[in-house]
């Protein structure tokens, strides 16, 4: 079975979806075929509005960089979930990434328990405490859990948040609070976003949403570096199981 990584945090807006997209982007840049299982979707909305991950999947396909290497599937049934992960290898996927909602469900708890790694993102000190408490409560006895620092508005808090998050370790890759992580939804993969910006000559002097082109390009580079670093760090963590 391909390595499975579940993004789990009992806190709304913890950064689960953005960090999942970032990891998927990095894995795709390394040529990996990624199955994303979205167990968050509200059944009632299906077919009416695309979910964030479906919108992003369409952008990835449109960008043409990762044709056939990303597939997003919605799932809220435990039997369907088991079939999806059992079929993933046969279907040619190298990694399974699962996005969950803040409220644990039967499927999200199962996903976390059968994962090779649970990634728990948090955006600040208070969130570190809240997310860590939720892990202790819902995933008793699970050991393959790591925190991920993402979107910290106050970088000075990082060290104390890491201490608060104990007993769980925290990934050394951090996702800073910059727009490119958010903008993956519209631009597809981080690599595509980064390459696209590089092709626009600096002398165009683009000024979009108060960011000048040079700053934009710099932020995209920072995000691209973190994206590849995250993918490599996660591969290292699960590689003994590959």
- 205 in contact with ligand ATP (CB under 6 A): no
* Closer of 17 and 219 to Mg ion (Cβ): 17
Closest CA to 148 of 128, 178, 169, 120: 120
Residue 112 CA, chain-centre distance (Å), reads: 14
Q: Enumerate residues 12-31 that contact ligand ATP by CB under 6 A.
A: 12-18
Would you give the binding string for ligand ATP spanning residues 169-188, x where CB under 6 A is met? ------x-xx--xx------
Closest contact distance (angstroms) between CB of 14 and Mg ion is: 8
Query: What is the SS3 assignment for 139?
Result: coil
Nearer to ligand ATP, 164 or 226 (CB): 226
DSSP 3-state assignment of 114? helix
**Region binding ligand ATP by CB under 6 A among candidate stretches 9-17, 77-85, 135-143, 158-166:** 9-17
- Give which of ligand ATP, Mg ion, none residue 26 binds (C-beta under 5 to 8 Å, depending on kind): none
- From candidates 4, 6, 10, 17, binder to Mg ion by CB under 5 A: 17
For the bound state, the minimum distance from the C-beta of residue 23 to ligand ATP, rounded and expressed in Å, comes to: 12
CA atoms within 13 A on the CB side of 17: 21
User: How many CB atoms lie under 10 A from the CB of residue 24?
Assistant: 31
Q: Cα 159 vs. chain centroid, distance in angstroms?
A: 22
Residue 17 or 217 having the CB closest to Mg ion? 17
User: Token pair for residue 197?
Assistant: 């910006």
Q: Are strands 175-176 and 95-99 parallel, antiparallel or unpaired?
A: unpaired
Q: What tokens were used for 162?
A: 């890491």
**Residues of the shown chain interacting with ligand ATP in the complex, contacts defined by CB under 6 A:** 12-18, 101-102, 150-151, 175, 177-178, 181-182
């Amino acid at each position: 079975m391909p390595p499975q990584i579940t993004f789990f945090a009992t806190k709304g807006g913890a950064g689960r979806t953005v960090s999942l997209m970032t990891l998927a982007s990095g894995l795709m840049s390394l040529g990996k075929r990624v199955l994303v299982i979205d167990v968050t979707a509200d059944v009632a909305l299906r077919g009416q509005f695309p979910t964030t991950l479906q919108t992003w999947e369409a952008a990835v396909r449109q960008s043409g960089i990762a044709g056939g290497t990303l597939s997003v599937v919605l799932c809220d049934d435990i039997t369907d979930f088991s079939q999806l992960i059992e079929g993933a290898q046969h279907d040619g996927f190298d990694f399974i990434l699962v996005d969950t909602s803040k409220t644990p469900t039967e499927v999200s708890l199962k996903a976390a328990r059968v994962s090779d790694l649970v990634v728990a993102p948090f955006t600040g000190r208070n969130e570190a405490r809240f997310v860590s408490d939720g892990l202790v409560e819902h995933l008793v006895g699970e050991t393959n859990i790591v925190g991920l620092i993402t979107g910290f508005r106050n970088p000075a808090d990082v060290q104390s948040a890491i201490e608060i998050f104990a007993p769980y370790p925290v990934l050394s890759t951090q996702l800073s609070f910059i727009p490119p992580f958010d903008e993956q939804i519209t631009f597809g993969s981080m690599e595509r976003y980064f390459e696209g910006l590089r092709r626009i000559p600096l002398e165009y002097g683009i000024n979009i949403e108060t960011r000048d082109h040079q700053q934009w390009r710099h932020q995209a580079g920072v995000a691209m570096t973190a994206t590849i670093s995250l993918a490599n760090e996660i591969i290292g963590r699960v590689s003994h199981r590959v």
